[in-house]
Chains A and B, each alone.
Chain A
Amino acid sequence: MKENMPINNNIITSPSKTEPPRKKTKRDRFLTGILIFGGLFFIFSLIQLNLDYSRLISGTSKLFSFVGHMMPPDFSTWEKVIGAGLESLQIAIVGTSIGVVLALFLSFLAAENLSPHRTISWMIKGIAAFVRAIPALIWVLIFIVAVGMGPFPGILALAFNSLGMLVKVFAQSIEEIDDGVLEAMRSTGASWMQVIFQGVIPTVLTAYMSWSIFRLEIDFRYATILGMVGAGGIGWELTSAMRMYRLEEASFIILVIFLMVFTVEVTGNQLKKMIQRI
């Protein structure tokens, strides 16, 4: 060992002798509390659900034979199925487009830094929140009763549901605009319309496009299943194939739905990247 220790002892603080209170870290306790509560509520829920476990077992063996009957997928009706798939795509495109156009106008009234009046802003946001909170499939049921079966109620349901979401996120994009930018435009004497067309739209365009594509993706997912309750598209084909016990056709339809959803997700990501570059 080296003899001349280069240690500056006074730097080392002498440890405090007082024993600190030995208790758990605060947020630790919160997390633990959540986990314990979750476990208890899980057990409670299971008891309340009162599931028939014998059916769980017999059903599982049934499921395997059922899936067996679904194999191999029957491609012979591909023309009809692909046509229905395209109809789903069309429902999504039209529904989303209506939602986007309406949300575009409403967002100018809903954004607090642009709205002519606070009350208008709050009212629009409130209605949007309500429309958004009700699942698209419930809208479908309402529209089916109101306007009858087919692609039309599906389009309306998607338009409404997208409207609810897009008004919120569009308004948010506007509210994120730097106050100074709008101030400066107003100070030059620009009218409300001019501020929107010259200042707001160019600023939020990219965000609007990304959100719209994001929404189209969601709507497309919906459009594949809307039909299951009677709103046209590929979902309807699935329901009828299952009802008529054409199981091999059903598995082909499920395969198509899977591929459609998957493709849209991938192309959606690709498009979003492209738009960010523009």
Chain B
Amino acid sequence: MEILEIQNLTKIYKDGTTALRDISFNVKKGEFAIIIGSSGAGKSTILRSINRLVQPTSGSILFQNKEITTSSKGELRKIRREMGMIFQGFHLIKRVSVLKNVLHGRLGYMNSFKGAIGAFSKEDEEAAWSLLERVGLTDQAYKRAGELSGGQQQRVAIARALAQKPALILADEPIASLDPTTSETIMNYLYQICHEDGITCIVNLHQVEVAKRYATRILGVQQGTIIFDGSATELSDSEIQHIYQKKLVV
């Protein structure tokens, strides 16, 4: 079953940069898809369009059969809360406790005002605790998020995404600022949790070997177009070279 259907997606930024050219692909429920491509290829723009942190120039994105690109503010909130997002820079509120950061995942489900003043319900708090347990951070719950190591912060970010009870997780280079061992831990968490909970996941990466280890499907992006779509075994060395080769601007 398709959870995401992207058709003819194009994004041209205000300054005239064409980041995506007429991209189309579908993602099935339960896939662990990894997008690879050199920096500037358009990977982030794809993920950010799916969450509508950037407004696509044209094309359509169907998430669980709902159109994202034209949804109203209220609809967008409902769509966003079912997509967890994980970033390269963790993007936690550093001054706030780890627990609060996880609870932020519940905001989309709350009364706007209650959420604004941080009046989280007892159930939400319990849920946040069990998520922290899942990522092995209960003993850090009351520390400020900024005091944690990079790997720990990314685990908090994963817990925040899970607090949304998402159907889809979008991870934009989640391990790019971590060392190899920590990177492996994070990828393992992400993979295992998505596998156990049946969450579909799209990850941007630029490490091909890591992508090959985890991906159920790999998408290769170059200069805003998808030039490879297949399994890890189908991704040959020449394909890799092709994806990472800088094409001259015509």
Contacts and interface: CB of A to CB of B under 8 A. Distances in A.
Do A and B touch directly, given a CB cutoff of 8 Å in the complex?
yes
Contact of B185 (A6, A11, A18): A11
B189 A12 contact: yes
A13 B136 contact: yes
Interface string B136-149: 11110111100000
Interface in B30-79: 30, 32
B134 A15 contact: yes
Given A2-B216, A14-B136, A28-B97, A7 B142 contact: no
B32 A7 contact: no
Interface string A1-34: 1100111110111111011101111011000000
Interface of B: 30, 32, 97, 132-139, 141-144, 181, 184-185, 188-189, 191-192, 195, 213-214, 216
A16 B138 contact: yes
Contact of B30 (A1, A13, A19, A23): A1
B139 A20 contact: yes
Contacts of A7: 188, 191-192
Contacts of B141: 20, 22
A19 B97 CA distance: 17
Nearest to B231: A2
Contacts of A8: 184, 188
A15 B214 CA distance: 24
B142 A22 contact: yes
B142 A25 contact: yes
Contacts, number: 55
A5 B138 contact: no
Given A15-B134, A20-B141, A24-B142, A5 B184 contact: no
Contact of A25 (B143, B184, B192): B143
13 contacts: A6-B214, A8-B184, A8-B188, A9-B188, A12-B185, A12-B192, A16-B136, A19-B138, A20-B139, A20-B141, A24-B97, A27-B144, A28-B97
A20 B142 contact: yes
A16 B189 CA distance: 16
Contacts of B189: 12
The 4 closest A-B pairs by CB, nearest first: A15-B136, A15-B133, A6-B213, A13-B136
A4 to B, nearest CB: 10
A16 B129 CA distance: 12
Nearest to B130: A15
Given A16-B139, A20-B142, 16 more contacts: A1-B32, A1-B195, A1-B216, A6-B191, A6-B214, A11-B185, A11-B188, A15-B132, A15-B134, A15-B137, A15-B138, A18-B139, A22-B142, A23-B142, A25-B144, A27-B144
